Amino acid sequence: MAGVVVVGASLGGLRAADALARSGYGGGITLVGDEPHPPYNRPPLSKEALVDEQEFEAIRLRSSSKGGAVNLVTGLHAVSADLSRGLVFFSNGSEMAFEGLVAATGLRPRALPIPKPGAGVLVLRTYADLLRLRGELAGVRDVAIIGAGFIGCALAASLTQLGYSVSVIAPEDVPMLRPLGEELGGALLRHHSAQGIKFGLSRLPVTIEGDARPERVVCNDGSSFDAQLVIEAVGSATNTEWLEGNGLELSDGILCDERLSFGGQGRFLAVGDVARFPNLAFDAVPRRVEHWGIAVDTGRYAGKALGRLLTSGEAEPAFKPMPAFWSDQFELRIQSFGMPGLVTDPAAIRVLEGDLDGEVVVGYYREDTLVGVVLVGFVQSHLKYRAAVAESLAAAGTSS
């Protein structure tokens, strides 16, 4: 009998497979990944795995299921699926039948469509990317990072700590603008600049000059930044092509309902970065959330929900997580709870504790509802502010 196939041996995929095994589901569980490695943790790639040159075992993720309940297959890429027939087709010509499917195929980095040399321009998403970056850093003095989001800024901090001269180039006025807002992003700009990072903000790269390798990045305002190595951290695209032809909404990930289900049957669920779902703790707008914690939470929920559905026919309650993320940059621990990115009005972003140029807690409000907080420092206060967001949502008529 067909079992469950989890496509994507990611953090979310592994946690879904483990939760399904714990649910009492009696069928086979196959976890399929396109990389040659077993599942591993991605956030350290731009931080400690880079700075400390950690080997793969330091970031490998372990399954919590026992007795070989999950069959792991690596190095196999899904090319298509037929949901009506319950089949997934793979790059080696094989196929797998399923009665339940979990899509955990995540993201791939985007690359800028600008002139660039054939070598020395990298992205960082996989362990193979990390190994390539380590090799390319030999003999390099100047590194340019295109993109001032969390990955770009974490990379900049790590490479600065390793002694490289780092420039960060981006179109926004401040780093990490979308999740943090103008004021807090500006405070982090001042902090990171004081640590030696050079920022080229409010401008766009138009070419990466150099013959065999980069020499400089030239921007639309005529400015340029020396670089013998360039890292593009300009966002990602969702890996959904393998699900095309099934009548799904795939314009920005996989459109799901409030139970992470797609395709209208409840037997197909998406997890992690690729899942676009409404979090009814906040509102009914479907969104993708690219946080480590959401990959864990969606995986655990999907595995439990699918196991319950396939064994008893019952549905789990709606999935209403509390999004959370953190980033370590230099000596700073940045933590967030809720959805601060929902708030764009500067007047609705308020300092709750501390000072913007030191340790600080910033609150993000929609009307009178606290929908998110960001802590820079104040490490021991994270539970207090997580609870504050949950209580505010509950008082507004939602819950997390």
CATH architecture for the domain at 111-232: 3-Layer(bba) Sandwich (3.50)
Does domain 331-395 match CATH 3.40.50.150? no
Pick among 3.90.1150.10, 3.50.50.60, 3.40.120.10, 3.40.50.920: CATH of 3-108+236-312: 3.50.50.60
Q: Give residue 200's identity as a one-letter amino acid code.
A: G
Mean pLDDT, residues 37-63 taken together: 95
State the maximum Cα–Cα separation within the chain, in Å, rounded to a whole number.
Answer: 64
Asked whether residue 74 carries a pLDDT value surpassing 50, the answer given is: yes
Asked whether residue 185 carries a pLDDT value surpassing 70, the answer given is: yes
| CA nearest neighbour of 274 among 82, 79, 104 | 104
Q: Taking a C-beta distance cutoff of 8 angstroms, is the pair 201, 174 a contact?
A: yes
Predicted pLDDT of residue 87: 98
Q: Taking a C-beta distance cutoff of 8 angstroms, is the pair 280, 318 a contact?
A: yes
Mean pLDDT, residues 56-78 taken together: 92
pTM of the entire predicted model: 0.95
| CA–CA separation, 256 and 277 (whole Å) | 5
Predicted pLDDT of residue 348: 97
Predicted pLDDT of residue 56: 97
User: pLDDT band at 1, cuts 50/70/90?
Assistant: low
Q: How do residues 338-348 score in pLDDT, each as one tens digit?
A: 999 999 999 99
Q: How do residues 132-149 score in pLDDT, each as one tens digit?
A: 999 999 999 999 999 999
363 is written with which tokens?
A: 């609150």
Q: Taking a C-beta distance cutoff of 8 angstroms, is the pair 49, 37 a contact?
A: no
Q: Taking a C-beta distance cutoff of 8 angstroms, is the pair 295, 42 a contact?
A: no
Asked whether residue 377 carries a pLDDT value surpassing 90, the answer given is: yes
Q: Residue ranges per domain, the chain? A: 3-108+236-312, 111-232, 331-395
Alpha helices in 35-106 (DSSP H): 48-51
Question: What is the residue-averaged pLDDT of the chain?
Answer: 96
Spatial neighbors of 129 by CB under 8 A, at least 6 apart, are 45, 122, 123
Asked whether residue 400 carries a pLDDT value surpassing 90, the answer given is: no
> What is the 3 state secondary structure string of 287-328?
EECCCHHHHHHHHHHHHHHHHHHHHHCCCCCCCCCCCEEEEE
Task: Count how many Cα atoms sit within 13 Å of the Cα of residue 287 in the half-sphere of its side chain.
Answer: 17
48 phi and psi, to 5 degrees?
Answer: -65, -30
Identical fold for domains 111-232 and 331-395, yes or no, is: no
User: pLDDT band at 321, cuts 50/70/90?
Assistant: very high
